[in-house]
Structure 1
Amino acid sequence: MPYRPKNSRNWHYDFQIRGRRFYGSCDTEDFEEAKAVEAEARVAARNAPEVTRNFTLSEALGTYFSEVSTHQPSAKTTMSQFRSILAVIKPATPLSKLTDADLMRFRSTRRSEVSNATINRTLAAFDRALRHMEKTHGATLATLDFGAKKLPEPKERVRELTLAEQKRLFENLRPDLHPIVQFALMTGARQGSICKLRWRDIDVDTGRMTFRMKTDSGTSAKSMTFPMSSENKALLSTLPRATDPKHASFVFTFEVQNRRMKSRRRILQNSTAFEHFRAAVRAAEIEDFHFHDLRHTFATRMLRKTQNIKLVSRLLGHSEITTTSRYAHVIDSDLAGALESFSALDSKESRSPSRSHNKNTI
């Protein structure tokens, strides 16, 4: 029944359905009208997705984005992925009514527009969104086989920045982005880890940094410690800090201008910083190079210097050394060079029997 709170002229309703609470104002002082409003609210509540657990595709993707993706550096990518899904599969489709045929239709439609890798990443994000709705909101899901829809991908390439390309990149890069690129080359840290790095993660006394890293599920719960070199410390000691408390705790910030053309430093997440990086790559005429390739560059240079794949694997934060094996070509090329300078037939041991034989036959 409607009730009237203290100091309120209007009647209110407050009830529960299947453990969910629904409450609000009836926006009327008339008790009979209030009862009718409450009755309508009860009917609407019984059909609400949080009660029926029958969410639509649009509601599921929107909920996942607002609760999970919006806080991640890849938010723009996720938004683009979800829009591509809704462009093929009807947004009002209930999750319980989704079929493998819907996934196949999405795959075939997008295959003529984007790469297999892009489709696979989108399907993975799709799957994560559905699992989130099931686990967090009790959504009723159809049985879908996302794994069977995965398309073959070419072996991941390893793109190393040459020293000449590196020089051109810095010549064309905005000065306030130099520290970000330098740090990536020094540590091999992922873009997301650099965006999330805070001053509290830097411990100069122990010479350690803590990186927040992605996991196989696409979340950012995993972390790893990384040793600080003197070069790291020197770079970090020169970084300007944002004055706004919301941004001041982050190590790397990006200089932006407001409408009054005043410069302020802002966090990298959801900024245009990496668009400026891509523009610098194009201006430097560096082909087929992305920010993640700075990580590849660090790995190949470190492996070339140390010849220790286990060490490099730990520095990259790989859980399996097989993931690091893509860089083994560096060691292979050095092995080939070593063999080229080695001759088994030109050793003293190989020549002495020949001399002995010649002596006996004179």
Structure 2
Amino acid sequence: RSTTKSINVKQQAIEAIDRIINGNPIVISKKGKLIFKNIAKEARVSPTELHRDFRDVMLYVSSLKDSKNESITIHASLVRKRCMEAIERFKTGETRNVNKNAKVTVASVAKEADVSDSYLYAYFPDILNKINELQGEYARYGNKEKHDKLLKALTILLSKNEVITVKKVCREAGFSETFDMMVRKSYPDAHNQILIEIEKQKTSRHTQDRLILLEALERLKNGNPKNTPPIPNGGYISVRKLMNESGIGEGVIKKNHPDIYQECLKKITIKTEDVWLVKSDFDAVSKGDTETHKLNFSNIHFDWLISSAKAFIKAVFSTRSKSTLKTNIDAITFFSRALYSINPECEAHEVTRSEMQKVFFEWSKSELKSSTIKRRLASLRQYFEWCEDTNFIKFGATKLIRDTDYPSLPKSIPKFIPENVMSQLNQHIDKLNPDVTRFFLVLQEVGMRISECCSLMFNCISPDENGDYFLKYYQFKMKKDHIVPISAELVSVIREQQKAMITEFGQAPVLLFTTPKFQENGIPYPRAGKAWSKGTLIKNLNALAVENNINDASGKVIRFGFHQFRHTVATRMINNGVPQHIVQKYLGHETPVMTSTYAHILDETLKKEFKKFNSTMIDINGKKFNDQDIINDLTMGTDANNIDAQWLKKNIAMQTLPNGLCSLPVVQGGCPHANACLTCSNFRTDHTFLPQHKEQLQRTEVIIETCKKNGWVRQLEMNENIKESLVKIIAPLESN
């Protein structure tokens, strides 16, 4: 055992005790008690090390508390002389002031020399060193037979290559596990020998672990791991991958090999010869995009195909989204795999229509979905057409992919969430993390796509001139901003989320739904400060469904999907009688065809009525309008006060007329022309209101007769205009 190290430990402990007494500790709390555990922590040494090298630490603490020893006036040289004489008497067994069988400690030597032990600790390190040496010579306390058993048990465990602990040595020697405390106190030389072997094993284990880690790291870099799948091109060696490859835990790597741990945290990509790492700009990131996109060409067979694929991606890079570029590369990759299985030596000029049909056959054998094949063909066709247009590469034929090659897709009914399931969900939704709860409340009212909700900007709501609120978000699919009216309740939810984010980060973040710093269990979130992970969100929601037994009609626990909320919003609107062209506008669809996929109505009567309503609309002159005509009449924009947003607000709130609807948006209050609908060019109606129009025509004819009899010229003229409009409206409606 190193004497110098022992003195250093003692000195550190003495200084730590002094700081604790004076109320200015560095490590522990200022209110920390002067106990053994706190002293070790403040001294920055392990409790075992402190006990081994400063066995009398608590006796020293006691001496400081003894008021009679607070003042030391004996000259230093006299104290040293007395102590040296006392040590000699301990050696010969002729002590005067203490028992002849007393243990050799600083306290016993100080008592024998008739001086204060605190004085020795503070000013005589040489005396402490002498006492330390003496303890080594006369350290075998307790029963000699038990001492020998302990050393023999230690030797046996070492021969078996067992991991040494004090408890394990006690078990091997035939003693109880609690005997380890007796070993520490009464068998110090045996205890020290055990600690020495533990330290040796620890050093050896660290050396061995480091060797294993470095070898595993090298295998991962070279692409030939033994215990894990190879890292794909453009990937990086993470701590988890190194942990799985080496079999050494993350905690051990972090604590004992910090340099290797930090190397993994850098996330340095490997094998990037055919992998492009494309950085997104801040605007893309702020709207929920990822910071870095990986375009991987390394899995494409044939050099001519790789070079042409890279040239194609470079050419279209500025006009396409990163996800579309990735889809293009994936299609070329799958094409190369099929072509390689058919002809491993294939050249570009050998790619003919016949070869393409073989590729299609290979894809059909893999049981791919029709939608996957169709998407793959569309992306591959873009590549072929670019090659033909630029003459970058010559294939064996033109028109390698034709319209007839695309599979026909079955029309599937949208999967919406039944109302009874939505009711169950909202009963338990408050049990989620508050941020997640608010996220799904926004999603279920607005019906936006998941990427749109994740990328909602912090300041996403704005009022119009009438005090109603609108939500503005970016539609990645349509590449445009979109604005929709929202309820006062949802405005409160969003404001709650804004306050929570400011509290979390100290300022307003870029995104409304920003991942917080810590999870509920106190563990830091890896994505803190970024957009929420879609996987985390849906995992939380489905866990809630399982925990609270949220079932469908068959009694089976429901499994939620993000897009179901969009289907549900659209279906609710249709079932509530909202016209399809208004649903189209609310969802931000470009064409009625897109909206029609959501128009799933459960009630058969409503289905029939919807079909009737969705046919032809008539104005006061009998002119026919369809849904798209009405939409095309609207001015596009993204301001809460523009015509588009106001029209949508009015109609989505179902502010319809008793006999039709008004195509004029409400911008400043209500219509100024009371009861003038049948003479207004903005009036629209259809045959669902035909009975009301016929009844009004009969009443109007009676009024006309009365006006004629009484000579009411002005009233007669007004009602004749109304009659004329009604006739023009009724005639085409009856013919439909």
Alignment match, 1:49: none
Q: Distance in 1 between matches of 2:480 and 2:568?
A: 23
Cα offset, 1:148, TM superposition: 3.0
Distance 2:541 2:331 in 1: 20
Q: 3-state DSSP class of the match of 2:483?
A: strand
The residue type paired with residue 110 of structure 1 is W
Aligned with residue 241 of structure 1, among 501, 524, 529: 501
Give the SS at the match of 1:276. helix
Of residues 541, 546, 571, the one that matches 1:300 is 571
Kindly, what percent of the aligned residue pairs are identical?
A: 19
Q: Select which of 49, 59, 66 maps to 2:310.
A: 59
Q: How does 1:1-362 map to 2 (within 5 A)?
A: 56=307, 59=310, 71-72=322-323, 84-90=334-340, 99-101=352-354, 103-111=356-364, 112-127=366-381, 140=393, 143-145=399-401, 147-167=403-423, 171=428, 174-175=432-433, 176-204=435-463, 207-215=469-477, 221-239=479-497, 240-241=500-501, 248-254=509-515, 261-263=523-525, 264-268=528-532, 272-273=535-536, 276=539, 279-280=542-543, 283=546, 285=556, 290-330=561-601, 333-335=604-606
Separation of aligned partners in 2, 1:202 and 1:241:
16
Larger radius of gyration: 2
Taking the aligned partners of 1:226 and 1:96, their CA distance within structure 2 comes to 53
Distance apart, 1:267 and its partner CA: 1.1
Q: Secondary structure at the match of 2:576?
A: helix
- Structure 1 range deviating more: 316-325 or 126-135: 126-135
User: Secondary structure of 2:593's match?
Assistant: helix
Shift of 1:198: 1.8
Contact 1:65–1:79 at 8 Å: present in 2 too? no
Q: Which amino acid aligns with 1:236?
A: I
Separation in structure 2 between the aligned mates of residue 198 and residue 265 of structure 1, nearest angstrom = 13
What is the distance in 2 between the residues matched to 1:249 and 1:199? 6
Deviation string 1:114-142 (CA, Å, 9 cap, x unpaired) is 3111222233344456678999x995575
Is residue 303–residue 330 contact of structure 1 (8 Å, CA) maintained in 2?
yes
Cα distance in 2 between the residues matched to 1:61 and 1:168 = 51
Change (3 A) 1:62 1:184: same
Inter-partner Cα distance in structure 1 for 2:349 and 2:432: 49
Q: Retained in 1: the 8 A contact 2:444–2:566?
A: yes
**Is the 8 Å Cα contact of residues 456 and 513 (structure 2) preserved in structure 1?**
yes
Aligned to 2:131: none
**Structure-2 separation of matches of 1:268 and 1:132:** 38
8 Å CA contact 1:165–1:286 kept in 2: the answer is: no
Q: Deviations over 1:21-65 (max 9, x none)?
A: xxxxxxxxxxxxxxxxxxxxxxxxxxxxxxxx9853653687699
| Alpha-carbon spacing, 1:336–1:306, altered in 2? closer, same or farther (3 Å) | closer
Residue 168 of structure 1, CA deviation: 5.2
- Cα distance between partner residues in 1 of 2:505 and 2:336: 37
Q: Residue deviations 1:8-29, cap 9 Å, x none?
A: xxxxxxxxxxxxxxxxxxxxxx
More strand by share: 1
- How far apart in 2 are the matches of 1:63 and 1:274? 35
Partner-residue secondary structure (3-state), 1:234: helix
The question of whether the paired residues in 2 share the 8 Å contact of 1:209 and 1:225 is answered with yes
What whole-Å deviation, never above 9, does each CA across 1:240-267 have from its counterpart, x for those lacking one? 438789x931222345869x93132421
Any idea what SS the aligned residue of 1:330 has?
coil
Secondary structure of 1:224's match?
strand
Give the secondary structure class of the aligned counterpart of 1:241. helix
Pair 292,104 (structure 1): closer, same or farther in 2 beyond 3 Å:
farther
TM-score (norm 2): 0.31
Q: Shift of residue 315 of structure 1?
A: 0.5
The answer to whether the Cα contact below 8 Å between 1:96 and 1:141 also exists between their aligned partners in 2 is: yes
One-letter amino acid of the counterpart of residue 155, structure 1: K
Please report how far the alpha carbon of residue 300 of structure 1 lies from its aligned counterpart in structure 2 after TM superposition. Answer: 0.6
User: Measured at CA, do residues 108 and 183 of structure 1 come closer, stay the same or move farther in structure 2, by a change above 3 Å?
Assistant: farther
Task: State how far apart, in whole Å, the 2-side matches of 1:104 and 1:184 are.
Answer: 44
Contact kept? 2:471, 2:486, Cα under 8 Å: yes
Which letter maps to 1:250? L
- What residue identity is the alignment partner of 1:181? F
Alpha-carbon distance, 1:80 to partner: 6.6
Q: Secondary structure at the match of 2:413?
A: coil
**Contact kept? 2:312, 2:386, Cα under 8 Å:** no
Distance 1:101 1:212, change over 3 A: farther
Describe the shift of the 1:181–1:118 C-alpha distance in structure 2 as closer, same or farther (beyond 3 A). farther
Q: CA deviation at 1:277?
A: 6.1
Q: Residues 95 and 252 of structure 1: is their aligned pair in 2 closer, same or farther, counting only changes over 3 Å?
A: farther
Deviation, 1:186, is 0.8
Distance 1:321 1:336 in 2: 17
Partner-residue secondary structure (3-state), 2:481: strand
Find the residue that maps to 1:114 and give its secondary structure: coil
Contact 1:179 1:235 in 2 (8 A): yes
Query: Does the Cα contact within 8 Å between 2:460 and 2:473 map onto a contact in 1?
Result: yes
Following superposition, the deviation at residue 185 of structure 1 comes to 1.5
Closer, same or farther: CA 79–200 of 1 in aligned 2, 3 Å: farther
Partner SS for 2:511: coil
Contact residue 432 and residue 544 of structure 2 kept, 8 A: no
User: Please, what is the CA RMSD of the aligned residues?
Assistant: 4.8
Aligned to 2:410, the other structure's residue is in SS state coil
Greater share of helix residues, 1 or 2? Answer: 2
Cα distance between partner residues in 1 of 2:588 and 2:572: 16
Cα offset, 1:103, TM superposition: 5.0
CA distance in 1 between counterparts of 2:505 and 2:349 reads 46
- Contact 1:54/1:140 (<8 A) preserved: no
Unpaired runs of 5+ residues, structure 1, are: 1-52, 339-362
Stretches of structure 2 that go unaligned for 5 or more consecutive residues are 1-303, 551-555, 610-736
Q: Name the CA shift for 1:266/1:130 in 2 (closer, same or farther; >3 Å).
A: farther
In the TM superposition, residue 331 of structure 1 has moved relative to its aligned partner by 7.9
State how far apart, in whole Å, the 1-side matches of 2:437 and 2:345 are.
Answer: 46
SS of residue paired to 2:530: strand
